[in-house]
């Protein structure tokens, strides 16, 4: 028996001993297992160009896609407003999934309710669920706003949120003047980034355009402020705080819309804060008067920015600006729009990032990378790699579209390091597996699920993306701003150095290169 | 010592009743009436816990429950390792349940095993408008081509499938025929069916009955020689290796495990199960249906067991042995004796650190009752428990065999109720799920996830008990819980710091 009270072995070690190994070997005969030689043959076949061709010919099946569904993004955006409870109309299991998913990434509570529709609602519609649900949520959780979105069930049966909310208010579920913005977020259209866009647009539309006909539309009285939209972002906590710091340094009057940087990073001090921070409802309404709105992620805010532009504001969008040039562009845009000087401190921060790149670029230069993730994240990371002299050989975005591909390809074409690099829209991680086998790279950048690719192909994984379930707390540090660029550079360098050490640590064989100084 | 243990049973009862009344005040009248039926204080001697269960959750209250898809794909079918399980519909359901339940298995993932892959038909608008059967047909072809060593395929329906009128049964039959009788199982586990995960378990059980047992060919002879000691483990999902640390005990006592349902299980094991002499059932809730069916159809008896904590393990080993001859009965005694030194050492080490500590549970399946014995083996007391998706037969078992007088019972508890209960009862430990974990930790209450073992485990069996004891100790006695108040702040201003 391997187990003992002195040294308790859990699953990592317990099953490695002979007792369990023999037990598992004996279990095989009941499994009717495949011939090991055949398993080996197929395993090798999946690494070939022939398999890649068949794999890329897939038209219907998705295997390990790197995207989630719309309501996740809607929930993510909604909790970024002051005391706002996301309410997802449809089946209840979906909400259990969103909450779990966000909690596993942020290691934080994630509050959200469902209207718990079942078979009868599928037949008769979910109006009663909405009426009861809003009343219960309002009484129990004392929100200042309830932001409604939908699961695919409610979308398939065609529930009309606008009418349902109106009826619920008439029935007294919530006071008539209580804010209940809404967005239809069908899971069979787009992805979580689309849901973010729809929910945010729904909220702005609610405040700016007369609260579904219950209030006068706001009249824009332009001021000098700038609105910032972060987009769906696993690093929202660190990133939005960094952006706010930069805006304050530049003395720019600003509103961060959907600011969930507090609610996903509350202290452990004896109190559970179901709501914390967030864009105030007043600020959300007054955001109409801003001079301009800047989106940090174009593909998360296509509809929202169009809506904002229609209200007369300048709109500017970035693609997850990471690194030197992208941050430069962002800072310069801030200065241009606000007519504020760029303070010396930012120049110094910039200089430090340049310094770090100069110190270390020899280790990154010429390395080949595969990247996957949300469309903007891919773009931002690829752009940073190019300026480090690295080659983003494969850039894959399951929720990227043709327009993304064109923009991505144009970026790659613009750099000598992007030649021969390829963007893959609509593809999944099983496609990526074929790419890594047939056109190997040095490193892979992606979310936690990339560890399966690392295991199968031996390509070391640098964890940047969403979700990150198996590493803790990285979301608390920014990847935007010059400081964020430095953080990303360090993540990449740490992996590169770890790999060199791993390759050179065999005693008496390879350890002549096991250097103390690198 | 927490408040709970300083009171008499009568005082506890009165306080718990008062607490329920207080919590119900937040609700609109109609909701209060409905929720009142799900909350109770257990009275010793009653045949159940006095709560209604398996009833629709109330909209807007933040139920912790999931859906039928979660019960079928996430629980019952997903762990069958040599079959490909398609999340049929939009991308989300499969994405959120991808790899998150830690159903351990041994196999070459992506080649002959597929548990931690996310297969989905990724429905787009056109599939909703025009129907998804053609897409499903193509999905099955593509799986056959790219994953040729799969031993079967299941189709796990997401909400839209049942709403748009797709005929996945017809597609399954046709494709099965096309592939020479391949096992293809359509499962109608759309998320809107039923009130929780529970109906998904039932639907998944029925799919095994109809599409696996219903299609057994020939004389059903297993590919191995039967013995009088063949048993099947039913309802162990091998989370963190639970089924393995259970199987080893059964085999040490002389039994032969011919199938695991469904953690680290395979299609061949499902098919061979009708040849078992006894089905031993851990998670009654999720797999009693198929156990009853096998009893009726094949005459296989089944017996429930509990492998959490040494008291229940010994009781269960003896109960299982009771179905067999003296050789097995002696085997059970031998196993109990063999592990006694380990059990004694674990208890000697951890019990002094945990004695008298109170626990509140809220979990699914079998755990709201099954783990109580393990806590008691460590000197801890469970003062509140409830089921996410239990039925009355679960509450009967709980009342008759597990909970003490005046235990607080909460069925389908929601965020608001659970937080208030914990705030008032101040347990030393809460055991629940990922959605609850960080809420209670913020409040300063030690917490362990009792669905996923907080990524530890196994917790089943004697080897698992040592891990369970270690984990509970590290949660309750972590130095961090003494640090939740800043030294310059008054301790009295802190809500819910676990009382010492």
Q: Per-residue pLDDT tens for A43-69?
A: 999 999 999 999 999 999 999 999 999
Examine the domain organization and report whether A117 and A171 are in the same domain: yes
Rounded Cα distance between B14 and B17, Å, is 5
pLDDT, one tens digit per residue, over B230-251 is 999 999 999 999 999 999 999 9
Residue B493 has pLDDT above 60, yes or no: no
Examine the domain organization and report whether B370 and B459 are in the same domain: yes
Residue A136: its pLDDT value, please? 98
Task: Name the band, by pLDDT with cuts 50, 70 and 90, for residue B500.
Answer: very low
> Residue A277: which of A98, A144, A476 has the closest Cα?
A144
Of the three residues B194, B222, B250, the one that is the final residue of a domain is B194
Tell me if B92 and A156 make a contact (CB, 8 A cut-off). no
Residue tagged 């752009």 (tokens): A383
Of B70, B93, B332, B374, the catalytic one is B70
Is position B323 within any domain?
A: yes
- How many helices (DSSP H) and strands (DSSP E) are in chain B? 20, 14
Cβ–Cβ < 8 Å for B366, B426: no
Task: Name the band, by pLDDT with cuts 50, 70 and 90, for residue B219.
Answer: low
- Segment holding A256, helix H or strand E: strand A254-257
**Residues B303, B261, A94: CA angle, nearest 5 degrees:** 115
pLDDT, one tens digit per residue, over B148-201 is 999 999 999 999 999 999 999 999 999 999 999 999 999 999 999 999 999 999
Examine the domain organization and report whether A359 and A497 are in the same domain: yes
Cβ–Cβ < 8 Å for B60, B35: no
In the annotation, is B201 catalytic?
yes
Examine the domain organization and report whether B79 and B150 are in the same domain: yes
Tell me if B145 and A54 make a contact (CB, 8 A cut-off). yes
Residue A179 gets which letter from DSSP?
A: B
Residue B217: its pLDDT value, please? 72
Residue A446: its pLDDT value, please? 98
Task: Name the band, by pLDDT with cuts 50, 70 and 90, for residue B492.
Answer: low
In angstroms, what CA-CA distances link A185 with B62, B93, B472? 20, 15, 41
Rounded Cα distance between A446 and B315, Å, is 48
Of the three residues A213, A240, A259, the one that is the final residue of a domain is A213
Is position A432 within any domain?
A: yes
Residue B496 has pLDDT above 70, yes or no: no
Rounded Cα distance between B383 and B406, Å, is 8
Examine the domain organization and report whether A311 and A358 are in the same domain: no
Strand order in the sheet with B447-449: B39-41, B408-410, B381-385, B358-361, B429-432, B447-449
Tell me if A51 and B57 make a contact (CB, 8 A cut-off). no
Tell me if B67 and A151 make a contact (CB, 8 A cut-off). no
Residues 341-380 of B with CB under 8 A from A: 342, 345-346, 348-350
- Segment holding A218, helix H or strand E: none
Is position B486 within any domain?
A: no
| Mean pLDDT rounded to a whole number for chain B | 95
Tell me if B149 and A151 make a contact (CB, 8 A cut-off). no
Domain count, chain B: 3
What's the Rg (C-alpha) of chain B?
Answer: 23
Residue B79: its pLDDT value, please? 98
Examine the domain organization and report whether A257 and A110 are in the same domain: no
- Domain residues for the domain of B309 are 230-345
What is residue A359's three-state secondary structure? helix
Residue B3 has pLDDT above 80, yes or no: no
**Sequence-ordered list of residues with C-beta below 8 angstroms from that of B265, at least 6 positions apart, any chain:** B79, B80, B81, B259
Rounded Cα distance between A331 and A174, Å, is 43
Is position A438 within any domain?
A: yes
Examine the domain organization and report whether B431 and B474 are in the same domain: yes
Residue B2 has pLDDT above 90, yes or no: no
In angstroms, what CA-CA distances link A72 with A151, A181, A196, A199, A404? 10, 16, 8, 10, 21
Residue B220 has pLDDT above 60, yes or no: no
Write out the two tokens for A190.
């787009």
In the annotation, is A75 catalytic?
no
Mean per-residue pLDDT for B43-50?
97
Residue B407: its pLDDT value, please? 98
Examine the domain organization and report whether B264 and B296 are in the same domain: yes
Tell me if A118 and B193 make a contact (CB, 8 A cut-off). yes
Residue B444 has pLDDT above 70, yes or no: yes
Determine how many CB atoms are found less than 10 A away from the CB of residue B148.
Answer: 14
> Residue B73: which of B53, B54, B99 has the closest Cα?
B99
* Backbone φ and ψ of A262, nearest 5°: -90, -45
Of B42, B65, B88, B201, the catalytic one is B201
Domain count, chain A: 3
Query: What CATH number has the domain bearing residue B29?
Result: 3.40.50.1980
Residue B221: its pLDDT value, please? 60
Tell me if B258 and A134 make a contact (CB, 8 A cut-off). no
Selected residue of B70, B71, B91 to mutate for chain A interface (largest A Cβ count, 10 A)? B91
Mean per-residue pLDDT for A330-338?
98
Is position A389 within any domain?
A: yes
Is position A366 within any domain?
A: yes
Taking CB atoms and an 8 Å cutoff, what residues of chain B touch A113?
59-62
Task: Please tell me which of the candidates A43, A272, A452 has its beta carbon nearest to residue B443.
Answer: A272
Cβ–Cβ < 8 Å for A132, B31: yes
Using a cut of 0.90, tell me whether the model's pTM lies above it.
yes
Rounded Cα distance between A239 and B463, Å, is 44
Of the three residues B194, B220, B253, the one that is the final residue of a domain is B194
Is position B467 within any domain?
A: yes
Mean per-residue pLDDT for B252-260?
98
Is position B413 within any domain?
A: yes
Examine the domain organization and report whether A368 and A487 are in the same domain: yes
Largest CA distance in chain B: 77
Residue B490: its pLDDT value, please? 77
Write out the two tokens for A220.
């824009």
- The percent of residues above 70 in pLDDT, for chain B, comes to 96
Examine the domain organization and report whether A355 and A488 are in the same domain: yes
Residue A15 Cα, gap to closest chain B Cα (Å): 8
Is position B201 within any domain?
A: no
Write out the two tokens for B343.
């059990």
Of the three residues A191, A213, A235, the one that is the final residue of a domain is A213
Of B38, B65, B101, B285, the catalytic one is B101
What is residue A414's three-state secondary structure? coil
Residue B497: its pLDDT value, please? 42
Examine the domain organization and report whether B126 and B178 are in the same domain: yes
Residue B373 has pLDDT above 50, yes or no: yes
Of the three residues B325, B345, B365, the one that is the final residue of a domain is B345
Examine the domain organization and report whether A496 and A362 are in the same domain: yes
Tell me if B111 and A113 make a contact (CB, 8 A cut-off). no
Q: Are strands B119-120 and A62-63 parallel, antiparallel or unpaired?
A: antiparallel
Examine the domain organization and report whether A334 and A371 are in the same domain: no
Cβ–Cβ < 8 Å for A39, B112: yes
> Residue A55: which of A421, A432, A360 has the closest Cα?
A432
Helices (H), B179-283: 197-211, 242-252, 267-272
Examine the domain organization and report whether B170 and B101 are in the same domain: yes
Determine how many CB atoms are found less than 10 A away from the CB of residue A84.
Answer: 27
Residue B222: its pLDDT value, please? 66
Of the three residues A344, A371, A395, the one that is the final residue of a domain is A344
A179 forms beta bridges with A145
pLDDT, one tens digit per residue, over A463-484 is 999 999 999 999 999 999 999 9
Tell me if A269 and B258 make a contact (CB, 8 A cut-off). no
Residues 95-114 of B with CB under 8 A from A: 95-100, 104, 106, 108-112
What is residue A87's three-state secondary structure? strand
**Residues A65, A409, A190: CA angle, nearest 5 degrees:** 35
- For residue A117, the chain B residue with the least C-alpha distance is B192
Examine the domain organization and report whether A401 and A434 are in the same domain: yes
Write out the two tokens for B425.
């009862």
- For residue B434, the chain A residue with the least C-alpha distance is A100
Examine the domain organization and report whether A95 and A184 are in the same domain: yes
Examine the domain organization and report whether B160 and B75 are in the same domain: yes
In angstroms, what CA-CA distances link A89 with A155, A230, B178, B203? 9, 25, 40, 24
Tell me if B272 and A140 make a contact (CB, 8 A cut-off). no
- Residue count of chain B, please give it: 500
Examine the domain organization and report whether B381 and B315 are in the same domain: no
Residue B400 Cα, gap to closest chain A Cα (Å): 31
Write out the two tokens for A367.
């390395």
Q: How many CB pairs under 8 A join A and B?
A: 359
Residues 237-276 of B with CB under 8 A from A: 240-241, 244-245, 247-248, 251, 257-260, 264, 266-269, 272
Examine the domain organization and report whether B390 and B420 are in the same domain: yes
Residue B499: its pLDDT value, please? 36
Provide the ipTM: 0.98
- For residue A102, the chain B residue with the least C-alpha distance is B435
Of B49, B67, B93, B189, the catalytic one is B67
Examine the domain organization and report whether B468 and B417 are in the same domain: yes
Residue B215: its pLDDT value, please? 86
Is position B287 within any domain?
A: yes
Rounded Cα distance between A231 and A198, Å, is 11
Query: What CATH number has the domain bearing residue A400?
Result: 3.40.50.1980
Mean per-residue pLDDT for A95-102?
98
- Domain residues for the domain of A262 are 226-344
Q: Count Cα atoms within 13 angstroms, Cβ side, for B49.
A: 34
Examine the domain organization and report whether A74 and A209 are in the same domain: yes
Is position B4 within any domain?
A: no
Examine the domain organization and report whether A194 and A258 are in the same domain: no
Residue B68 gets which letter from DSSP?
A: H
- Residue count of chain A, please give it: 518
Of A112, A152, A237, A421, the catalytic one is A152
Taking CB atoms and an 8 Å cutoff, what residues of chain B touch A34?
112, 149
Write out the two tokens for A223.
């001021």
Residue A312 has pLDDT above 80, yes or no: yes
Rounded Cα distance between A397 and B311, Å, is 53
Cβ–Cβ < 8 Å for A441, A208: no
Residue B494 has pLDDT above 50, yes or no: no
**Sequence-ordered list of residues with C-beta below 8 angstroms from that of A444, at least 6 positions apart, any chain:** A369, A370, A371, A372, A432, A436, A450, A453, A454, A459, A460, A461, A462
Mean per-residue pLDDT for A193-199?
98
Write out the two tokens for B439.
């809420």
Taking CB atoms and an 8 Å cutoff, what residues of chain A touch B469?
8
Tell me if B63 and A90 make a contact (CB, 8 A cut-off). no
Rounded Cα distance between A495 and A501, Å, is 10
Examine the domain organization and report whether B261 and B153 are in the same domain: no
Residue B6 has pLDDT above 90, yes or no: no
Is position A38 within any domain?
A: no
Examine the domain organization and report whether B341 and B360 are in the same domain: no
Residue B335 has pLDDT above 60, yes or no: yes
Is position B500 within any domain?
A: no
Cβ of B25 under 8 Å from any chain A Cβ?
no
């Amino acid at each position: 028996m391997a187990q003992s009270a002195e040294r308790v072995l859990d699953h990592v070690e317990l099953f490695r001993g002979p007792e369990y190994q023999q037990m598992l070997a004996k279990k095989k005969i009941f499994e009717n297992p495949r011939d090991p030689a055949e398993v080996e043959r197929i395993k090798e076949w999946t690494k070939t160009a022939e398999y890649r061709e068949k794999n890329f010919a897939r038209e219907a099946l998705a295997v390990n896609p790197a995207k989630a569904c719309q309501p996740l993004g809607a929930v993510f955006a909604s909790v970024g407003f002051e005391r706002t409870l996301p309410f997802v109309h449809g089946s209840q299991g979906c909400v259990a999934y969103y909450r779990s998913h966000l909690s596993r990434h942020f290691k934080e509570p994630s509050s959200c309710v469902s209207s718990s529709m079942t078979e009868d609602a599928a037949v008769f519609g979910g109006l009663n669920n909405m009426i009861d649900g809003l009343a219960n949520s309002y009484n129990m959780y004392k929100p200042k706003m309830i932001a409604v979105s939908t699961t695919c069930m409610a979308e398939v049966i065609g529930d009309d949120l606008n009418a349902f909310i109106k009826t619920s208010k008439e029935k007294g579920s919530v006071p008539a003047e209580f804010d209940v913005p809404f967005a239809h977020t069908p899971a069979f259209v787009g992805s979580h980034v689309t849901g973010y866009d729809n929910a945010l647009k729904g909220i702005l539309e609610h405040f700016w355009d007369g609260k579904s006909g219950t209030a006068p539309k706001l009249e824009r009285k332009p001021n000098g402020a700038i609105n910032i939209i972060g987009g769906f972002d696993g690093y929202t906590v660190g990133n939005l705080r960094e952006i706010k710091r930069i805006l304050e340094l530049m003395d720019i009057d600003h509103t961060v819309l959907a600011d969930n940087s507090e609610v996903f990073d509350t202290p452990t001090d004896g109190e559970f804060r179901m709501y914390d921070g967030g864009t105030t409802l007043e600020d959300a309404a007054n955001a109409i008067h801003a001079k301009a709105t800047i989106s940090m992620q174009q593909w998360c805010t296509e509809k929202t920015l169009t809506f904002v532009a229609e209200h007369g504001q300048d709109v500017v969008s970035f693609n997850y600006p990471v690194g030197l040039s992208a941050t430069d562009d962002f800072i310069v845009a801030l200065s241009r729009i606000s007519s504020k000087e760029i303070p010396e401190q930012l120049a110094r921060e910039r200089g430090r990032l340049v310094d770090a790149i100069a110190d270390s670029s020899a280790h990154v230069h010429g390395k080949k990378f595969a990247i996957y993730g949300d469309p903007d994240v891919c773009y931002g990371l690829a752009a940073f790699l190019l300026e480090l002299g690295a080659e983003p050989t494969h850039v894959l975005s399951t929720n990227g579209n043709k327009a993304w591909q064109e923009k991505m390809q144009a970026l790659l074409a613009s750099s000598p390091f992007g030649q021969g690099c390829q963007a893959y829209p609509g593809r999944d991680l099983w496609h990526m597996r074929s790419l890594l086998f047939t056109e190997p790279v040095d490193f892979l950048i992606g979310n936690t699920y990339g560890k399966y690719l690392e295991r199968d192909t031996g390509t070391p994984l640098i964890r940047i993306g969403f979700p990150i379930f198996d590493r803790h707390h990285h979301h608390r540090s920014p990847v935007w701003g010059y400081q964020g660029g430095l953080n990303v550079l360090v993540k990449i360098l740490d992996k590169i150095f770890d790999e060199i050490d791993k390759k050179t640590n065999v005693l008496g064989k390879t350890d002549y290169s096991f250097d103390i100084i690198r | 010592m927490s408040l709970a243990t300083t009171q008499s049973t009568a005082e506890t009862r009165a306080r718990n009743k008062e607490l329920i009344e207080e919590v119900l005040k937040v609700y609109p009248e109609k909701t209060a009436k409905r929720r009142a039926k799900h909350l109770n204080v257990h009275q010793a001697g009653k045949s159940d816990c006095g709560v209604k269960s398996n009833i629709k959750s109330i909209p807007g209250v933040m139920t912790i429950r999931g859906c039928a898809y979660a019960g079928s794909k996430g629980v019952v079918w997903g762990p069958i390792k040599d079959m490909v399980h398609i999340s049929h519909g939009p991308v989300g359901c499969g994405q959120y349940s991808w790899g998150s339940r830690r159903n351990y298995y041994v196999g070459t993932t992506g080649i002959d095993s597929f548990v931690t892959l996310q297969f989905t038909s990724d429905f787009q608008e056109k599939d909703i408008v025009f129907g998804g059967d053609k897409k499903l047909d193509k999905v099955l072809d593509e799986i056959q081509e790219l994953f040729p060593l799969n031993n079967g395929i299941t189709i796990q329906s997401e909400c839209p499938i049942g709403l748009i009128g797709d005929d996945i049964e017809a597609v399954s039959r046709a494709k099965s025929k096309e592939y020479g009788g391949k096992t293809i199982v359509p499962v109608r586990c759309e998320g809107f069916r039923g009130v929780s995960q529970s109906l998904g378990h039932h639907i998944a059980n029925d799919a095994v009955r109809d599409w696996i047992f219903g299609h057994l060919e020939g004389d059903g002879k297993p590919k191995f020689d039967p013995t009088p000691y063949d048993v099947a483990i039913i309802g162990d999902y091998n989370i963190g290796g639970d089924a393995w640390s259970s199987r080893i005990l059964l085999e040490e006592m002389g039994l032969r495990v011919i199938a695991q349902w469904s953690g680290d299980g395979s299609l061949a094991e499902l098919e061979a199960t009708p040849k078992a002499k006894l089905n031993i059932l851990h998670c009654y809730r999720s797999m009693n249906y198929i156990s009853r069916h096998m009893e009726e159809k094949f005459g296989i008896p089944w017996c429930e067991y509990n492998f959490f904590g040494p008291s229940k393990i010994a009781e269960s080993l003896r109960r299982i042995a009771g179905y067999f001859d003296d050789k097995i009965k002696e085997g059970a005694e031998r196993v109990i004796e063999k592990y006694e030194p380990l059990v004694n050492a674990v208890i000697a080490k951890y019990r002094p650190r945990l004695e008298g500590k109170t626990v509140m549970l809220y979990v699914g399946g079998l755990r709201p009752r099954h783990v109580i014995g393990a806590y008691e083996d460590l000197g801890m007391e469970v003062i509140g428990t409830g089921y996410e998706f239990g039925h009355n037969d679960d509450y009967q078992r709980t009342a008759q065999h597990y909970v003490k007088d005046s235990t607080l019972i909460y069925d389908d508890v929601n965020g608001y109720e659970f937080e208030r209960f914990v705030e008032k009862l101040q347990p030393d430990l809460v055991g629940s799920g990922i959605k609850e974990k960080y809420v209670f930790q913020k409040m300063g209450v030690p917490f362990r996830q009792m669905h996923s073992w907080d990524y530890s485990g196994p917790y089943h069996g004697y080897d698992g008990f040592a891990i369970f004891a270690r984990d509970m100790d590290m949660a309750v006695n972590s130095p961090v819980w003494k640090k939740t108040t800043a030294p310059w702040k008054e301790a009295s201003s802190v809500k819910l710091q676990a009382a010492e």
